């Protein structure tokens, strides 16, 4: 265990987080993965599935209960990692949420829906990162990864999304569909700023901080240092650097 890098991935029992774990388990290098999950039972089920799909691996895994919207849960997770390992080599901020599908049905609750989205995708990720940075800096090669989205690019949205919407919008009010994914998009854009801020803050500590937008294998390549030249940038699933 002592010779393995310790990787914590939030929201790792499903989706891209789980795909990242599978990619790590296929690596020729040996890691110990902490599968961050709000629900221990779901993490246990995901680990059982992982071991069934990847019976031969040099890596090991265990569940770590953490809800990034709950400060006490984060503090407890830090205590667990500190007591067991005394450090953290890689933090992958993968946990995220979208509530935009509810907007057209409940515009009166728009503030709450926006706040819920930002609480997970921005505030929760910021607090999670700040809590674990002391353990990251105890690593000889710390890496900090944020999972954003291709929907977060201002340049891309201005060039493709906005022109497309304008051609389909009728004059007058109400306008249906105009709010599609706006909370999620803006929260991921804010997350990009969180990433840039942490990159600037930790640069003197030699912490590799990157932001792949999608893909478990890409996350593995970031962890293993293949994308160090793109530190502080947003990297897309096909490996290109995403414009702001």
Question: How long, in residues, is the chain?
Answer: 244
Q: Helix crossing, 40-53 with 15-25: angle to 10°?
A: 40
Nearest residue to 13 (alpha-carbon basis) of 64, 85, 86, 57: 64
Nearest residue to 10 (alpha-carbon basis) of 31, 32, 37: 37
d(CA 134, CA 230): 24
d(CA 32, CA 24): 9
Q: Backbone dihedral region of 102: left (phi > 0), alpha (psi from -120 to 50 degrees) or beta? A: alpha
| E strands, the chain, in order | 5-9, 31-37, 60-65, 90-93, 143-146, 208-212, 234-235
**CB contact set of 86 (below 8 Å; sequence gap of 6+):** 135, 138
The count of other CB atoms within 10 Å of the CB of residue 72 is 8
Catalytic residues: 149, 184, 188
């Amino acid at each position: 265990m002592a010779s393995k890098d310790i990787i914590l991935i939030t929201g790792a029992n499903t989706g891209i987080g789980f795909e990242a774990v599978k990619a790590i388990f296929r690596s020729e290098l040996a890691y110990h993965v902490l599968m961050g999950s709000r629900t221990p039972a779901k993490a246990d089920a995901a680990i059982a599935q992982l071991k069934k799909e990847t019976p031969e691996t040099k890596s090991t895994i265990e569940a770590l209960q953490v809800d990034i919207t709950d400060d006490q849960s984060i503090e407890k997770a830090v205590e667990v990692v500190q007591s067991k390992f005394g450090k953290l080599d890689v933090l992958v901020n993968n946990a995220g949420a979208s509530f935009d599908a509810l907007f057209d049905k409940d515009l009166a609750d728009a503030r709450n829906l926006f706040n819920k989205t930002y609480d997970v995708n921005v505030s929760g990720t910021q607090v999670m990162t700040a809590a674990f940075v002391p353990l990251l800096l105890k690593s000889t090669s710390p890496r900090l990864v944020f999972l954003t989205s291709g929907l977060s690019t201002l340049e891309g949205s201005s060039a493709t999304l906005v022109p497309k919407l304008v051609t389909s919008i009728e004059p007058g009010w109400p306008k249906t569909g105009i709010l599609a994914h706006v909370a999620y998009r803006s929260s991921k854009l804010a997350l990009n700023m969180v990433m840039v801020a942490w990159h600037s803050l930790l640069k003197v500590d030699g912490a590799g901080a990157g932001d792949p937008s999608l893909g478990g294998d890409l996350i593995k390549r970031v962890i293993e240092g293949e994308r160090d030249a793109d530190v502080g940038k947003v990297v897309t699933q096909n490996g290109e650097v995403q414009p702001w």
